[in-house]
Amino acid sequence: MKKDQELKDIVKERYSKIAEQGKAENAASCCGATTPSNKIYNIMMDDYSETQGYNEEADLGLGCGLPTQFAKIKKGDTVIDLGSGAGNDCFVARHETGVEGKVIGIDFTPIMIEKARANAEKLGYNNVEFREGDIDAMPVSDAVADVIVSNCVLNLVPNKQLVIKEIYRVLKPGGHFSISDIVLVGNLPEALKNDAEMYAGCVAGAIQKSEYLKMITDQGFQNVTIQKEKPITIPDDILNKYLSEDEMKTFNTAATGIFSITVYAEKKRSASEKPKLKFSELSAGASCEPNSGCC
């Protein structure tokens, strides 16, 4: 297996090229990275077009879910999007936070950052910013985010445990994340696991679903929930680039499964932190202790 930095360099190079491709070409392949299939349908992505805040110019067709749909973003929240690409999920999140909130996109591909900043400028979004950096060493201070979202990105990072540790660090106590990603049930054929292009295509870099969830719980996250799950089918005209005819038959009939999952989890509140009562609860007769900060 290639070293972590080699894999990062492969992904950075490939996604720099992806930034210059059209959405249709990206959507017809595996996360935009592999040779497009001649079957006209989207292998990974979900349809954003009816989502409020959606911006077509920022949608490169690279996701495998709709994490912002499940992220429980509120007005005024600070949201971080990991692997923000051209900014699509950031702009959807900004619709939920309103002008009162803040959205930070992080991506390690300079051309993606440039593209995202240009899109934000066109939209006039002064509370959306994009920072260049690795998501396993985020350019963000401790405990700043109410919500973290990510769409088909953690599978591209060699050290996923480090990313989850970083998510825990930058979330506020009581904050949460909603992340869409690719996971496995069963083992991939060696040709798929070892191929650099398939790594950049989100498949070879995926880990076992059970291992993925265990990493999250081991970090100390609570209320870990799979909000959505769907199988991913790789068309034969992509598989035959890597597998023989017999290997393809075995792969397609085996118990191995490739899935897109959207996972939700919460960071524990600090012991001294008490949830503030809403005004409606106070109006209904709830008590408010002096100096509690709720009134």
Q: Where are the chain's structural domains?
A: 1-263
Q: Which two tokens stand for residue 182?
A: 């690719």
Dump pLDDT digits (tens) for 32-81: 445 554 443 344 556 666 677 767 676 666 677 889 999 999 999 999 99
Asked: is 1-263 a CATH 3.90.1280.10 domain? The reply is: no
Question: Taking 90 as the threshold, does the pLDDT of residue 155 lie above it?
Answer: no
Q: Are 288 and 282 in contact (CB under 8 A)?
A: yes
Q: Distance of CA 111 to CAs 20, 21, 46, 79, 194, Å?
A: 9, 12, 24, 22, 27
What is the pLDDT at residue 293? 42
Q: What percent of the chain has pLDDT over 70?
A: 73
Q: Are 153 and 135 in contact (CB under 8 A)?
A: yes
Rounded CA separation 265/270 (Å)? 16
What is the pLDDT at residue 254? 77
CB atoms < 10 A from the CB of 188, how many?
A: 17
DSSP string covering the chain = ---HHHHHHHHHHHHHHHTTS-HHHHHTSSTT-SPPPSS-S-SSPPP-TTSTT--GGG--S--SS-HHHHS---TT-EEEEES-TTSHHHHHHHHHH-TTSEEEEEES-HHHHHHHHHHHHHHT-TTEEEEES-TTS-SS-TT-EEEEEEES-GGG-S-HHHHHHHHHHHEEEEEEEEEEEEEEESPPPHHHHH-HHHHHTTSTT-EEHHHHHHHHHHTT-EEEEEEEEEE----HHHHTTTS-HHHHHHHHHSS-EEEEEEEEEEPPPPTT--PPPPHHHHHTT----TTSS--
Question: Taking 90 as the threshold, does the pLDDT of residue 283 lie above it?
Answer: no
CB atoms < 10 A from the CB of 96, how many?
A: 20
More confident residue, 252 or 202: 252
> pTM of this prediction?
0.79
Reading phi first (left if > 0) and then psi (alpha if -120 to 50, else beta), residue 220 is in left
Rounded CA separation 295/288 (Å)? 7
Mean pLDDT of the chain: 80
Question: Taking 80 as the threshold, does the pLDDT of residue 146 lie above it?
Answer: yes
Residue 255 phi, psi (nearest 5):
-75, -5
Dump pLDDT digits (tens) for 37-50: 444 334 455 666 66
